[in-house]
Every structure is written in C-alpha cells, then in structure tokens.
Amino acid sequence: MKRKWTDEEVEQLKSLLETNLTDSEIADRLGRTLKAVRMKLDYIRRTPIQRDMDRKRCRTYYRRLRPIKAHIHDNAQVIESSRPDEETLAERDRRYATPFRDLTGLLLGDPPVGYSAMDRGRA
C-alpha cells in the first residue's frame, strides 16, 4: 500500500545517499520498496522547473485521455461491417494466385506488381 513520504524520511534518504549505500540497502533501512526509493530519488534530483513540466505533461495527457474513454464507454455503438466490393475481392484472389518471389514474400506477402521499390526503380 502506498504511503506518503514524511519530511524526516526524505531527510534520512538524503543522508543515506551521501553514505554511498546502494538503492536496495537504502530501501531496506527506510522500510520502503526499491522502486519507491528510486522514484523519490528521481524526483529529488529533478529541478522544480522539470517537475512542473512533468506535471503539466501528465495533466495534458490525462485531459486528452479522459474524453476519449468517456466517449468510448458512454456512446458505445456497433459498427456494421461491410463486405468489400467484388473488384477488391478479385484483386485479392489474383494476388494470392501469383507465386511468391522468395521466402520473405511467402512470410510477409509480396507487394503488388509495380508497387515495390525494385519495380519503381526499374520504371
């Protein structure tokens, strides 16, 4: 469970950092997880300007994310799938019928004739 850092713990963290202990040893002495100690050290090492920029970046991200989530959950609509037209299906079948040029073409699919970089270079 998360618990806030007290001022005494932060001061103790700074003093332990000066003793050249490893992060895991500091975490053991403070009774915190290694991740919590590393996150706090990262926070302490950043300047106030960097911290402010990070806060603004997070706020902007979550402001943009919240409306998207609300839109997805509140207005969930079923999108009807449409079948491709016959011309598109015929083109697909024609591409599948042509032999592959090499192993890469077999695994990943050859580009249509005239669309590969090699074909464009020859033209």
Read off the pLDDT of each residue in 70-82 and give the average, rounded to a whole number.
54
What is the pLDDT, as a whole number, of residue 71?
Answer: 47
Which range marks the domain in which residue 26 is found? 7-74
pLDDT in tens, 14-47: 999 889 889 999 999 999 999 999 999 888 888 8
50 assigned to some structural domain: yes
For residues 92, 98, 104 and 107, what is the CA-based torsion angle, rounded to 10 degrees?
Answer: 50
40 assigned to some structural domain: yes
Task: Find tokens 């009774």 and name the residue.
Answer: 31
118 assigned to some structural domain: no
* Stretch among 69-73, 80-84, 103-107 having the lowest mean pLDDT: 69-73
23 assigned to some structural domain: yes
70 assigned to some structural domain: yes
Listed in sequence order, the residues at least 6 apart from 5 whose beta carbon sits closer than 8 Å to its beta carbon are 13, 40
Query: Structural domain tally of the chain?
Result: 1
Judge whether residue 74 has pLDDT over 60.
no
